């Protein structure tokens, strides 16, 4: 845990992830006077409710980090590139939610349940990158299988909430749903496609040569970096669905060593950050609505691949699962705070 006397700077405090970071610090009882909320000039002067009182937002700048021990950057890559050096020069560790440093070999990319010890391989004040939301959720869910059986290949199709595109996207989904229910044609602004009552290929820019969008490229490269395994085969299809804030993923995984379904279930026993919801009789499995606003990655639909051959003990290398997790919490703000917890140790 971040000690309660530690001054924490939240950069981008008025955005969707920044607000979530403040909500988590509030629920942990971190004192209001040990938080500095900073944002763009446009938001400076506004206040954010916190623990029965309010925190005033000031303009983010190089002076924002004086006396602080850790800064949670919940802003754009540009802001991270501009202000992270100033923060570190002031002796303040940085956990960055943007993609600015995710590919930098000198910056650990960390999911605490997976490669937590990597935070200590850099000198202090540390700069640590928080991975992409879909990658975090996927790797938390797969860690028990990777640890026990090894993983050779992942085929993953995502069902991603609009919140990943920011607060304006949530408003767009809600307003567009209203309009369409009233029989009016959707007028997309944030996304190129209508987002209400629709599904569409992820809106991040696409690489024309490979046919992979930005989100898919992150899932491939970040998985390899976090696992320190350049050979793992990752085949993602990233898709937006009309859900407000939690992501889901349908995962087909090829293990290095074959396992039976019960061995897979056994591997999940006590898994950090994972809650199993897998009630076949009641047809109850993870959903993004139920995951919203909560911390765990929910995993269900666990089964040995129905098409794959099995040995006499029922073992196969191919297994399936479905997961849901709140992309603003474990997919972003919570993971960043858990990294700060590790730095505080």
Under DSSP, the state recorded for 192 is S
For the bound state, the minimum distance from the C-beta of residue 132 to a copy of itself, rounded and expressed in Å, comes to 16
Residue with Cβ nearer a copy of itself (97 or 324): 324
For the bound state, the minimum distance from the C-beta of residue 231 to a copy of itself, rounded and expressed in Å, comes to 9
CA 65 to CA 11: how far, in whole Å? 10
* Per-residue CA distances from 287 to 35, 246, 292, 337 (Å): 33, 9, 9, 24
**Which listed residue (74, 92, 133, 195) is catalytic?**
133
Active site residue 195: no
**Which listed residue (30, 74, 195, 247) is catalytic?**
247
284 beta partners: 279
Q: Which one, of 252, 327, 296, 22, lies nearest residue 140 by Cα?
A: 296
Residue with Cβ nearer a copy of itself (302 or 344): 302
Looking at residues 247 to 276 of the shown chain, list those that interact with a copy of itself (rule: CB under 8 A): 248, 250, 252, 261
Residue with Cβ nearer a copy of itself (55 or 220): 220
For residues 189 to 218, the per-residue mask of contacts with a copy of itself, x marking binding by CB under 8 A and - elsewhere, is ---xxx--xxxxx-x-xxxx-xxxx--x--
For the bound state, the minimum distance from the C-beta of residue 270 to a copy of itself, rounded and expressed in Å, comes to 22
Angle at 136 between CA 135 and CA 142, to 5 degrees: 85
Strand, helix or coil at 65? helix
Half-sphere exposure of 297 toward its Cβ, with a 13 Å CA cutoff? 32
For residues 289 to 318, the per-residue mask of contacts with a copy of itself, x marking binding by CB under 8 A and - elsewhere, is x----------xxxx-xxxx---------x
Report the 3 state secondary structure along 14-47. CCHHHHHHHHHHHHCCCCHHHEEEEECCCCCCCE
For the bound state, the minimum distance from the C-beta of residue 178 to a copy of itself, rounded and expressed in Å, comes to 6
Residue keyed to tokens 């999911």 = 111
User: Contacting a copy of itself (CB under 8 A), which of 322, 327, 332, 343?
Assistant: 322
At a CB cut-off of 8 Å and minimum separation 6, what does 85 contact? none
CA 224 to CA 233: how far, in whole Å? 9
CA 316 to CA 294: how far, in whole Å? 33
For the bound state, the minimum distance from the C-beta of residue 294 to a copy of itself, rounded and expressed in Å, comes to 15
Within 10 angstroms of residue 43's Cβ, the number of other Cβ atoms is 19
Q: Is 123 exposed, middle or buried (0-12, 13-18, 19+ CB in 10 A)?
A: exposed
For the bound state, the minimum distance from the C-beta of residue 183 to a copy of itself, rounded and expressed in Å, comes to 11
Active site residue 319: no
For residues 133 to 172, the per-residue mask of contacts with a copy of itself, x marking binding by CB under 8 A and - elsewhere, is --------------------xxx-x-x-------------
**Is position 233 an interface residue for a copy of itself (rule: CB under 8 A)?**
yes
Looking at residues 273 to 292 of the shown chain, list those that interact with a copy of itself (rule: CB under 8 A): 280-281, 283-285, 287-289
Residue with Cβ nearer a copy of itself (137 or 337): 137
For the bound state, the minimum distance from the C-beta of residue 101 to a copy of itself, rounded and expressed in Å, comes to 23
Residue with Cβ nearer a copy of itself (32 or 155): 155
Under DSSP, the state recorded for 94 is E
Strand, helix or coil at 273? coil
Binding residues vs a copy of itself (CB under 8 A): 153-155, 157, 159, 173-174, 177-178, 181, 186, 192-194, 197-201, 203, 205-208, 210-213, 216, 220, 232-235, 237, 239, 241-244, 248, 250, 252, 261, 280-281, 283-285, 287-289, 300-303, 305-308, 318, 320, 322, 324
Catalytic residues: 133, 247
């Amino acid at each position: 845990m971040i000690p309660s006397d530690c001054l924490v700077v939240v950069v981008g405090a008025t955005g969707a992830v920044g607000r979530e970071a403040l909500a988590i610090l509030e629920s942990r009882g971190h004192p209001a006077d040990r938080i500095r909320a900073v944002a763009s000039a446009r938001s400076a002067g506004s206040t954010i409710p916190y623990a029965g009182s309010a925190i005033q937002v000031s303009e983010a700048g190089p002076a924002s980090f004086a006396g602080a021990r850790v800064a949670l950057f919940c802003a754009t890559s540009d802001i991270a590139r501009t202000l992270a050096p100033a923060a570190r020069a002031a002796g303040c560790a940085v956990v960055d939610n943007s993609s600015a440093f995710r590919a930098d070999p000198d910056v650990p990319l960390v999911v605490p349940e997976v490669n937590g010890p990597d935070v200590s391989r850099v000198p202090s004040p540390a700069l640590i990158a928080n991975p992409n939301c879909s990658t975090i959720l996927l790797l938390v869910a797969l860690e028990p299988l990777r640890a026990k059986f090894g993983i050779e290949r992942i085929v993953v199709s995502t069902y991603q909430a609009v919140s990943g595109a920011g607060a304006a996207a949530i408003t767009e989904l809600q307003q567009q749903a209203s309009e369409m229910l009233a029989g009016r044609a959707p007028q997309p602004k944030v996304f190129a496609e209508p987002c209400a009552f629709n599904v569409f290929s992820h809106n991040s820019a696409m690489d024309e040569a490979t046919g992979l969008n930005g989100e898919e490229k992150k899932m491939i490269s970040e998985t390899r970096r976090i696992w320190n395994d350049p050979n793992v085969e990752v085949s993602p299809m990233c898709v937006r669905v009309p859900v407000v804030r939690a992501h889901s993923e349908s995962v087909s995984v090829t293990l290095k060593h074959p396992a039976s379904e019960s061995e897979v279930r056994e591997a999940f026993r006590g898994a950090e950050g994972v809650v199993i919801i897998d009630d076949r009789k009641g047809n109850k499995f993870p959903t993004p609505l139920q995951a919203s606003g909560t911390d765990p990655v929910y995993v269900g639909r666990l089964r040995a691949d129905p098409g794959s051959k099995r040995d006499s003990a029922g073992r196969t290398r191919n297994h399936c699962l479905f997961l849901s997790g709140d992309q603003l919490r474990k997919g972003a703000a919570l993971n960043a705070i858990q990294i700060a917890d590790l730095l505080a140790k």
